[in-house]
Amino acid sequence: MKFRTREEYHADLRAMRKNVFKNGRFIEDIVTDSDTRALIENESVTYDLLQDPQNDGILKAKSTLSGETVARWHTLMASAEDLMMYAKLKKLHFHKTAVCCAGVCTGWSTFNVLWSVTYEIDEKCGTDYHKRLQAWVRGVERKTYKVGAALTDAKGDRSKKASQQLSPDFNVHVKEIRSDGIVVSGAKTMIANAAAFHEIICIPGTAYKENEKEFAVAFVVPRDAEGLTLVQAEVSEGREGWDTMKYASAASYLIFEDCFIPKENVFMCEEWAFSGSVISRFTANYRAAIGACMSGNTDIMVGASALMARANGLSSNAFREKFVDMEMISNMVYGLGLGAMLAGEKHQSGAFYADPTLAHTNKYYVAKNYAEIRRICQDIGGGIAETGCLPNYKDCTDPVMGPKIMKYVQGNSDLSAETRARAARLCEWFGRGGGAMAFIHGGGSPDGARVVVRMNTPIEKYAQAASDIAGITEKIEDPAPKK
């Protein structure tokens, strides 16, 4: 099969309807615009990797449907090994760009969830969603498309249910069911790298009951569909020279206004009883693999810290133990994720899902420990690598003031001042710029992860076992709550 190239990908993006809004205008050419080019460059990297046979083991796999060799991110994750390749692919991408590769991650994970959920809906309700999903997968694998996922609704007041909000649009919902498709409205927010996708899969962001069945909807939509507008969020890039990094990830709001979704692209429509399974299966795989993202990002932060130490004139050996601290955290979340995969289970539809308790534990430790990694990076780099301590590129290259400033940016006398400035900006970028990944809420909030672990911890069973070991014959009950 012929795989899409970066040039073909860019041509696809340029041919799309101009529906990405940023800085008060719709972006004309998202490939070159200063607000989007680093995002597109980031997502282009996987197309480069696909062209290099050295990466075939990770990037390519046999199609579940056609048996052809296709891009791995369009194949079914049918075993622990397949899930581990999901983690490896993400880590490889992070090693190249240090930022989120949602175009080969979130959509992939989501169609794997819909694989089993559509199978179950069809069995129970006599629908044909699973066949539709398979036909769609066959289409995107032929085109090597980039596909993202949108779960997170705008939600509104967090203490209220979707049906109690000021507007039903706070959560994406079905407005009309027609014989040829459905009409949807509402907003999904914070959708990673959405402007860079060919298509986006939308799934329910939570479990719904029958009285809110209109919110239980899953479908795929072209990124430039009529009735869909993207508003790209701010990334602290977009300046010039070495102030700007080559790669960025950037989330978007997706605003659906009476957007028509043809029947063949609809995978759930009001089957509310299955919405909970969508979330639990999505989070199991995604949270098992999120350690790979943090681990890949951390490895490059270790590299950046070593560069900064050397640019300051110090041997990186002086910081060896700090690198070990960073790597041990990185290994912990990567390895715990792989463990969750190995402890996973196969669904009768053929899809494979990681062990939820281990996966959610992993998400929690990713969220909790990432700040520590960034702290160590900035600790090693010095003040110049921390927030706002290095004059900007424009001033450093000013014909009059530039040389005067750069005289004092100089560190290691064997290196240029510009090299030290670049290393410092990179460390700062990891600390507070686009290189600082959203590992707290990305993939779901840590408190949600704790709820799963709490639910899956059988305290009574453990108490009984402890009691048996201690030879206690009396039943030790929880004291009744005090009045």
Tell me which residues touch ligand FAD (CB under 6 A).
102, 106, 148-152, 155, 158-159, 190-192, 251, 438, 441-442, 444-445, 447-448
- Judging by beta carbons within 10 Å of its beta carbon (0-12, 13-18, 19+), is residue 350 exposed, middle or buried? middle
Closest approach of ligand FAD to the CB of residue 437, in Å: 7
Q: Do the Cβ atoms of 244 and 251 come closer than 8 Å?
A: no
Q: How far is the CB of 446 from ligand FAD (least distance, A)?
A: 7
CB of 214 to ligand FAD, least distance (A): 19
365 or 393, CB closer to ligand FAD?
365
Spatial CB neighbours of 397, under 8 Å, sequence gap ≥ 6: 241
Among all chains, which residue has been given the structure tokens 């305290």? 459
Question: What does the CA dihedral 30, 32, 36, 42 come to, rounded to 10 degrees?
Answer: 110
Tell me the closest approach of the beta carbon of residue 438 to ligand FAD, in angstroms: 3
- d(CA 432, CA 262) in angstroms, rounded, equals 42
- Of residues 319 and 429, the one with the C-beta less far from ligand FAD: 429
In the complex, least distance from residue 354 CB atom to ligand FAD, rounded to whole angstroms: 18
Cα(206)–Cα(276) distance, rounded to whole angstroms?
6
Between 247 and 319, whose beta carbon lies closer to ligand FAD? 247
Q: How far is the CB of 125 from ligand FAD (least distance, A)?
A: 25
**Residue in the block written with tokens 């290095």:** 390
**Are residues 59 and 104 in contact, defined by beta-carbon separation less than 8 angstroms?**
no
Residue with nearest beta carbon to ligand FAD: 438
Residue among 196 and 309 whose Cβ is closer to ligand FAD: 196
Pick the closer one to ligand FAD by CB: 447 or 477.
447
CB of 151 to ligand FAD, least distance (A): 3
Quote the CA–CA distance of 26 and 417 in Å, as a whole number.
38
Nearer to ligand FAD, 356 or 381 (CB): 356
How far, in Å, CA of 243 to CA of 434, rounded? 11
Dmax (CA) of the chain = 86
Q: What is the token pair recorded at 464?
A: 């009984």
H or E stretch at 260? strand 251-262
The CB-side HSE value for 325 (13 A sphere, CA atoms) comes to 16
Amino acid 62 reads: K
- Smallest separation (angstroms) from ligand FAD to the CB of 206: 10
- Whichever of 59 and 105 has its CB closer to ligand FAD, that residue is 105
- What Rg, from alpha-carbon coordinates, does the chain have? 24
Residue with smaller CB distance to ligand FAD, 233 or 314: 233
Would you say 221 or 384 has its CB closer to ligand FAD? Answer: 221
The nearest distance, CB 251 to ligand FAD, in angstroms, is 5
Sequence-ordered alpha helix ranges (H) in 389-442:
393-396, 401-409, 417-432
In 3-state terms, what secondary structure has residue 192?
A: strand
